[in-house]
């Protein structure tokens, strides 16, 4: 995988695999954490995120929107808890992207 291929094909040829990677992580996170918080993160933060591949580090990363905590409007969560769960969620997504496309 290279950054150019991933960037140009992620929403075309790679989209079914990308969807499955996100769904797998969502399901795992939903089982391990407060489902209301996971749904909020999924619908209000990750829906505006963008997955990328970095050629230099040969790894995937998820670029989050500005002020992720400020986007969480439908769920009440302490900022520290939100940030910890979001960090784990993103790490899981990046690892799943690596397993799927790496």
Give the mean pLDDT of 64-87: 94
Alpha helices in the chain (DSSP H): 3-9, 15-32, 35-44, 68-71, 79-101
Query: What mean pLDDT is reported for the chain?
Result: 94
State pLDDT tens for residues 5-37: 999 999 999 999 999 999 999 999 999 999 999
- Burial (CB < 10 A; 0-12, 13-18, 19+), residue 33, is middle
pLDDT category at 1 given cuts 50, 70, 90 is: confident
Query: The whole model's pTM is what?
Result: 0.93
Q: CA 42 to CA 74: how far, in whole Å?
A: 12
Q: How many of the other CB atoms lie within 10 Å of CB of 84?
A: 12
């Amino acid at each position: 995988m290279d950054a150019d291929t991933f960037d140009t094909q992620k929403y075309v040829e790679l989209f079914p695999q990308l969807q499955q990677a996100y769904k797998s992580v969502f399901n795992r996170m939903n089982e391990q954490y407060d489902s209301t918080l996971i749904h909020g993160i999924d619908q209000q933060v990750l829906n505006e995120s963008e997955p990328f591949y970095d050629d230099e580090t040969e790894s995937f990363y998820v670029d989050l929107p500005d002020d992720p905590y400020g986007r969480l409007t439908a769920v009440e969560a302490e900022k520290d808890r939100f940030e910890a769960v979001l960090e784990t969620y993103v790490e899981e997504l990046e690892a799943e992207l690596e397993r799927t496309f790496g």
